[in-house]
Amino acid sequence: MSLVVQKFGGSSVADKERIMNAARTAIRAKKAGHQVIVVVSARGDTTDELIELAKEISEHPPTREMDMLLSTGEQISIALVAMAILELGEKAISLTGAQVGIVTDSSHTKARIKSIFTERLREALDSGHIVIVAGFQGIDGTGNITTLGRGGSDTTAVALAAVMKQAAEVRRPSSVVRGGPTELQDLADNLGDGPRTTDVACDIYTDVDGIFTTDPRLVPDARKLDVVSYDEMLELASVGANVLSSRSIEFARKFSVPLQKRSSFSDVEGTWIVPEATWMSDVVVVGAAMVKDEARVAVIDVPDRPGVSHKIFAAIAAKNIAVDMIAQNVGSEGKASIGFTVPAIELHATLRALESVVAEMGVRIQSEEGVSKVSIVGTGMRTHTGVAQRMFASLSDVGVNMKMITTGDIKISVLVDKADGVKALRAVHAAFRLDQPRPGAGLPIAEVKTGGSGFERRTIETSPQAKDDQDLLSRLSHMEDIVVSDVALDEEQGRITIFNIPDQPGNCTRIFHAVAQANIVVDMIVANPAEKGRSNLSFSVPIADLQRTLEVTQQAAKTIAPDIVATADSNIARLIVSGIGMRTHTGVARTMFGTLAERGINIAMINTSEIRVSVVVDRSQGQNALEALRSAFGL
Ligand code: ADP
Ligand code: ASP
Ligand code: MG
């Protein structure tokens, strides 16, 4: 039998009409022969209002009590939706996160799911009920109510779809795990012996028709995407497309859940989030996004030696704060500087976390609020040249200065003044012609030369390695653990560094324009303000192009200011750690930096993203670093 998880966001249950509408949608799916789980968010702006309410009482409310308060929003919704379905004559039951058995860690206000017990859900479904589950909440090992972070109802929905799908694929768990660890034993018992659901899909209903090339509220000519890959969506969500929580996509990808974002107000086909297909690499940029309220932190006078970045990022990760852009300047005279961004609301906690590091290492800290991050994402970036240049040129054309630049495998992010944020987003959206129809966004994919791996809805296969029962059970019992799948060593890149570029619009563009004209593929880019209105810029290129890149860079630099120095370094190695949810799982960076520090390996450049973290080290340390990281991540 097939199962559908339908998630209704806050706007889709905001008033009586919409609640009835959600109820009818669920009943339609039931009548079409599916088992139905409905996950709901708090109505309208309830969560924001509850946060305001707490602030009236306390400036920094204890997070445990915050969760107690915030979880009430979803509890109201589930009761109302269940009543609506009952009113329309179908069987329904509402369940809180705790009642469903969504067990999380104890990290209040941003808890992670550890496991989900499906017994009660299954019983209710098998007895013909539509089950209404409160999104965004769970319970920790000692019975405290927890919440999963803003937008967490998406995570609940996809996690439920994932667990039901995986449970369905476990054939006879008991024979395999008898005598195994208690945790697995419990899980196996909880799966029960009932009929297995095989076909599971997840529809996320909202107030827009799907996922757009950027936020349609900010850029009216944004275009709806028909399809986007898990990786692209992960990156988009992590750089500010709040249309889906990044952790929900992490689950969808990890457990191969077919996911559709669609409108609860119309029957228009939504956006499908699917595994990557070959045709996607023809699309250079799939979307753009902005994080409006960021804060930049600069750690200055950092001793340029192993272990220092580890101390800084371990202190922040220990507070479960996900660092955003990281740009580490190449050291000179034994001192380096490390710049990074965090969400503005995390600045206070970040600065507090760094107090001990300041005292111990004598570094200086500067911070700045009122900055926004604008990013572009696209699979085609891996293979096309001149993408960075086009983005930077579009910004300098509208007079926007870039305060920091970082890149990932399939994304480029720049930090700008908050006042320039929307202008910058519109400029990059136009520069990549994202308002125009193209395959996957208004033109049928069949018309593209697909190389054979087109996209077919609802027939997406589970990854073959996930078939082993023991493996499935252990994955289920660590649902939201970090997945690091690979560590690779790249010795084919060289680095260009340019010191003292005046911080003005257009300067970086001139450099990248020259490099793009020479048809050179730029990989990592890191630009970070140094001091006194100057920035340092580093980027990597294929080693075979290094000398040529240095020449064009030097020529371009001369046109900016005579005292700019550009250097080339062929003595670097890059370590690439790939996985899912790498940035939001603060533990990945911590493990990475800690491992390299233990081996006395100095980090010269860092790039982070949800699917890939890269660090540059001295060439002589490459192999050593590779072995260390492989063993740290159990590969
Ligand atoms: P819900 O309450 O249904 O969870 P959200 O507010 O979380 O809804 O997400 C829907 C909103 O996300 C839309 O109204 C839209 O303004 C905003 N949004 C931001 N980026 C995008 C994007 N790339 N595509 C579509 N919507 C986006
Ligand atoms: N109600 C929560 C929030 O506003 C969870 C959600 O809507 O997904 O963040
Ligand atoms: Mg949402």
Ligand 2 centre and the CA of 45: distance in Å? 9
Ligand 1 centre and the CA of 208: distance in Å? 7
Mean pLDDT is lowest, of 185-189, 370-374, 385-389, 485-489, for: 185-189
Q: Would you call 339 exposed, middle or buried from its count of C-beta atoms within 10 A (0-12, 13-18, 19+)?
A: buried
> How far is Cα 379 from Cα 569, in angstroms, rounded to an integer?
28
Q: Are residues 441 and 226 in contact, defined by beta-carbon separation less than 8 angstroms?
A: yes
536: three-class secondary structure by DSSP: strand
> How far is Cα 527 from Cα 502, in angstroms, rounded to an integer?
12
At 55-110, the pLDDT tens digits run 999 988 999 999 999 999 999 999 999 999 999 999 999 999 999 999 999 999 98
Of all protein residues, the one whose alpha carbon is nearest to atom 15 of ligand 1 is 215
**pLDDT exceeds 80 at position 473:** no
Q: Give the chain's mean pLDDT.
A: 86
pLDDT, residue 178, reads 32
Q: What is the four-CA torsion angle of 239, 245, 250, 256, rounded to 10 degrees?
A: -130
255 Cβ neighbours under 8 A, 6+ residues apart: 161, 162, 165, 166, 462, 466, 475
pLDDT, residue 78, reads 98
Q: Which residue would you say has higher pLDDT here, 304 or 39?
A: 39
Q: What are phi and psi of 352, to 5 degrees?
A: -65, -40
pLDDT, residue 465, reads 39
Ligand 2 centre and the CA of 203: distance in Å? 16
pLDDT, residue 480, reads 67
331: three-class secondary structure by DSSP: coil
Query: Confidence class of residue 313 from pLDDT cuts 50, 70 and 90?
Result: confident
Residue 466 Cα distances to 5, 170, 175, 266, 351, angstroms: 21, 10, 18, 36, 42
Q: Which residue would you say has higher pLDDT here, 481 or 156?
A: 156
Instruction: Determine, yes or no, domain membership for 595.
Output: no
With pLDDT > 70 as the criterion, what percentage of the chain qualifies? Answer: 88
From the centroid of its chain, how far is CA 137?
Answer: 20
* Ligand with smallest separation from the Cα of 47: 2
* DSSP codes, 552-598: HHHHHHHHH-TT-EEEEE--EEEEEEEEESTTTSHHHHHHHHHHHHH
pLDDT, residue 99, reads 96
Ligand 2 atom closest to Cα of 150?
A: 9
Is 44 near ligand 1, meaning CB less than 6 Å away? no
> How far is Cα 212 from Cα 317, in angstroms, rounded to an integer?
32
At 400-448, the pLDDT tens digits run 998 888 888 899 999 999 999 999 999 999 999 999 998 889 887 754 4
pLDDT, residue 227, reads 93
**pLDDT exceeds 80 at position 334:** no
Of all protein residues, the one whose alpha carbon is nearest to atom 6 of ligand 2 is 151
At 33-58, the pLDDT tens digits run 999 999 999 999 999 999 999 999 99
Ligand 3 centre and the CA of 585: distance in Å? 20
At 251-296, the pLDDT tens digits run 888 888 889 999 999 989 999 998 888 888 889 999 999 999 999 9
151: three-class secondary structure by DSSP: coil
Of all protein residues, the one whose alpha carbon is nearest to atom 9 of ligand 2 is 150
Instruction: Determine, yes or no, domain membership for 383.
Output: no
The pocket around ligand 2, CB under 6 angstroms, is made up of 9-10, 41-42, 47, 73, 135-136, 150-154
Neighbours of 383 (CB within 10 A): 11
> How far is Cα 240 from Cα 246, in angstroms, rounded to an integer?
9
Short-list 374, 382, 467, CA closest to 422: 374
> How far is Cα 398 from Cα 444, in angstroms, rounded to an integer?
33
pLDDT, residue 452, reads 37
Of all protein residues, the one whose alpha carbon is nearest to atom 8 of ligand 2 is 151
Angle ∠(615,552,507) on CA atoms, nearest 5: 75
Q: SS3 for 327-356, per residue? A: EECCCECCEEEEEEEEEHHHHHHHHHHHHH
Q: Which residue would you say has higher pLDDT here, 100 or 562?
A: 100
Of all protein residues, the one whose alpha carbon is nearest to atom 5 of ligand 1 is 243
Q: Are residues 448 and 288 in contact, defined by beta-carbon separation less than 8 angstroms?
A: no
Ligand 1 atom closest to Cα of 204?
A: 3
Query: Confidence class of residue 3 from pLDDT cuts 50, 70 and 90?
Result: very high
Is 633 near ligand 1, meaning CB less than 6 Å away? no
Mean pLDDT is lowest, of 139-143, 261-265, 468-472, 473-477, for: 468-472
Q: What is the CATH number of the domain that holds 31?
A: 3.40.1160.10
Residue 387 Cα distances to 274, 288, 394, 399, 614, angstroms: 24, 13, 11, 19, 19
**pLDDT exceeds 90 at position 180:** no
Is 579 near ligand 1, meaning CB less than 6 Å away? no
Of all protein residues, the one whose alpha carbon is nearest to atom 12 of ligand 1 is 243
Q: Would you call 281 exposed, middle or buried from its count of C-beta atoms within 10 A (0-12, 13-18, 19+)?
A: middle
Choose one of 46, 148, 203, 215 to mutate for the ligand 1 pocket test, by most ligand atoms within 8 angstroms of C-beta. Answer: 215
**Ligand 3 is a single-atom ion; what residues have CB below 5 A from it?**
9, 151
Tokens 């400036």, located at residue: 59
Is 219 near ligand 1, meaning CB less than 6 Å away? no
Is 156 near ligand 1, meaning CB less than 6 Å away? no
Ligand 1 centre and the CA of 241: distance in Å? 7
> How far is Cα 337 from Cα 339, in angstroms, rounded to an integer?
7
> How far is Cα 595 from Cα 613, in angstroms, rounded to an integer?
14
Torsion sign across C-alpha atoms 361, 362, 367, 372: negative
At 515-535, the pLDDT tens digits run 988 888 888 888 877 767 788
* Ligand with smallest separation from the Cα of 14: 1
What six digits make up the tokens of 246?
């990044």
pLDDT, residue 587, reads 75
> How far is Cα 610 from Cα 605, in angstroms, rounded to an integer?
17
At 223-262, the pLDDT tens digits run 999 999 999 999 999 899 989 998 899 888 888 888 999 9
- Number of structural domains (the chain) is 1
Mean per-residue pLDDT for 552-575? 91
Instruction: Determine, yes or no, domain membership for 483.
Output: no
Choose one of 208, 213, 247, 435 to mutate for the ligand 1 pocket test, by most ligand atoms within 8 angstroms of C-beta. Answer: 208
Tokens 């970090």, located at residue: 482
User: Which uninterrupted H or E stretch holds 405?
Assistant: strand 404-407
Ligand 2 atom closest to Cα of 148?
A: 5
**Which range scores top for mean pLDDT: 157-161, 173-177, 187-191, 439-443?**
157-161
pLDDT, residue 255, reads 85
Instruction: Determine, yes or no, domain membership for 523.
Output: no
> How far is Cα 256 from Cα 162, in angstroms, rounded to an integer?
8
At 353-396, the pLDDT tens digits run 999 888 888 888 999 999 999 999 999 988 888 899 899 999 99
Ligand 1 centre and the CA of 370: distance in Å? 23
Domain hosting 59: range is 1-206
Neighbours of 400 (CB within 10 A): 23
**pLDDT exceeds 50 at position 195:** no
pLDDT, residue 186, reads 47
